[in-house]
Structure 1
């Protein structure tokens, strides 16, 4: 019997009698991180990393939460469990399972480059590795976090010189915190949407040291906002909420901005290919570092990535899940401006 079965409720460990990131209510849910496609309401109990708990409390309300630290070992019905850094967002973890000498790792979402907030991805040796492939095409190769920050800062400084308000869209958990840290180096006038403010406050109360931000409210005047930087979730773009800003320009932080022309197609002024997911080299690096003989690909460009792994001699297959449909980067290829997936894969 495999350590993980792919059920209609999520990733089930039958020996341990628990689920990992279930999309339907279960008795015991182990959670890799706080994004909405991995952490859902309704389960009887939750186990997560201690950094993830305040996010779950914010998004799911009061529940029986149990927390662990990275590398701490616990047992459930004889299954040895430990959480390890995934580097995706604050608190994001890979979950290692061991039973009768067999080791599986469920990675959730991850990136291998340290962004300074989310922790350094830890390669965990295993027999079977369950991976995402959100950006599982060879065209996706990110700049360093430092270079992306400089690009954003230069754009803001030019907008300020032009007396324009800079509005940057970034997912409320993950990129928003990275963006705010980059912005704080060039301005103190940082305003945020309520969704981002709520996450910001939850993290501050949990002890994270983050720059000072101001929530945009109905009382916030246009004079205050003039020449400022505003961080908002992608859902705010094009909404009536945006109309309050004077003389503003919009920049999008998303891995999809790697594809030339996406900023133009989405009718925004600038695009920054900042992602909390691994790029193509990062995905390959992570898979190879595990030493896994078998890989399951849960979401993203599953067919392309799993086929490539098989060509490398690593047994890989696709599995259907409900991951990858969070607010920000769970777009379909066509919605991301990618019409010919196979051609993009072959062009590299």
Structure 2
């Protein structure tokens, strides 16, 4: 049985909760990574599995103490999902081999060679960018454009403010801008400090009282109205957003920035399709984003049974007779 209920509920020989909203005592709880939308609100269970980096980040970001760490369950193995540092895919070896990707990315990053397909009977996967229009340009090309934009701003005496998630995107941007003077908001610096414990050296300086410039500032978009960012704009600055949604025409205007660059921690459409093909499952469940459209494309293009994950799916046999 696989269905949406307190995260994703899976029964395959025993009970599992994948990215639960709250951890439960009667199941194995699997936490894929430390983005807040995947972090449980409570950890009242002795059976919690995640990577060491994910555990440390959750504890640093929430103040909670959680008993998760290296996998100690003989039916579960962790695999790098390539999404953010510490993010994991989970392979459950129960009645069937079930692979849960969580959020994932197959492109090479500063901390990872990207997610690698693992053979499974059932694949539960994200479909955030599950439409054909969402195919990202090469990462090197995107950062080349970002550097050109920064250089143009500097030539005009302007600071460059890059809005990026505090965890994941911010570190990728900072790593790619080695050679530039990069300052970061407090939330980004705190994440960098935790990652430093795992030999991930992300070099950025805390924002000073007065930024002389022209320099580069990396901060979450939610900080745009903070006194520090307002002061930088007053001194002269241009702003940019880095997001996979930058492929949408309206993203730049919705984010109220001067430029938008298509850079994502998620797999794009071509990666999603290629991943399914290489895993070669009998059945795929999609969730997030364009789940219905992507499930249809899996059926039409790969001839693999697929459906968006819903609440209260009865059993795997509802979809294929021999799975």
- Please show how residues 1-348 of structure 1 align to structure 2 within 5 Å: 2=1, 5-14=2-11, 15-27=13-25, 28-45=28-45, 46-68=48-70, 74-75=73-74, 80-100=75-95, 102-185=96-179, 187=180, 189-211=181-203, 213-216=204-207, 220-222=208-210, 224-245=211-232, 246-312=235-301, 313-320=303-310
The answer (yes or no) to whether the contact 1:192–1:231 under 8 Å persists in 2 is: yes
SS at match of 1:52: helix
Aligned in 2, Cα 1:119/1:227: closer, same or farther, shift over 3 Å?
A: same
SS at match of 2:264: coil
Q: CA deviation at 1:134?
A: 0.8
Q: Distance in 2 between matches of 1:167 and 1:81?
A: 42
Q: Distance in 2 between matches of 1:7 and 1:147?
A: 38
Q: Distance in 1 between matches of 2:113 and 2:33?
A: 13
Q: CA deviation at 1:239?
A: 4.9
The answer (yes or no) to whether the contact 2:4–2:309 under 8 Å persists in 1 is: no
Q: CA deviation at 1:130?
A: 0.6
Return 298-307 or 264-273, whichever deviates more.
264-273
Q: Mind listing any 5+ residue stretches in structure 1 that lack a counterpart?
A: 322-348
Q: CA deviation at 1:65?
A: 2.6
Return 173-182 or 118-127, whichever deviates more.
118-127
The answer (yes or no) to whether the contact 1:50–1:67 under 8 Å persists in 2 is: yes
The answer (yes or no) to whether the contact 1:112–1:278 under 8 Å persists in 2 is: yes
Q: Between Structure 1 and Structure 2, how many residues are aligned?
A: 303
Q: CA deviation at 1:74?
A: 3.1
Q: Distance in 2 between matches of 1:7 and 1:130?
A: 11
Q: CA deviation at 1:163?
A: 0.5
The answer (yes or no) to whether the contact 1:29–1:43 under 8 Å persists in 2 is: no
The alignment's C-alpha RMSD in Å is: 1.9
Q: CA deviation at 1:60?
A: 3.1
SS at match of 1:191: strand
Tell me the TM-score normalised to structure 1 length: 0.82
Q: Distance in 1 between matches of 2:248 and 2:113?
A: 27
The answer (yes or no) to whether the contact 1:252–1:271 under 8 Å persists in 2 is: yes
Q: CA deviation at 1:274?
A: 0.3
SS at match of 2:222: helix
SS at match of 2:295: helix
Q: CA deviation at 1:133?
A: 1.0
SS at match of 2:50: strand
Per-residue CA deviation, residues 71-116 of structure 1 (Å, 9 max, x unaligned), is: x7732xxxx110111111111111000113x100010001111123
Return 274-283 or 7-16, whichever deviates more.
7-16
The answer (yes or no) to whether the contact 1:299–1:320 under 8 Å persists in 2 is: no
Q: CA deviation at 1:238?
A: 4.7
The answer (yes or no) to whether the contact 2:53–2:86 under 8 Å persists in 1 is: yes
Q: CA deviation at 1:225?
A: 4.3
Tell me the TM-score normalised to structure 2 length: 0.88
The answer (yes or no) to whether the contact 1:92–1:118 under 8 Å persists in 2 is: no
Per-residue CA deviation, residues 26-63 of structure 1 (Å, 9 max, x unaligned), is: 22421111111111230224311123222121123342
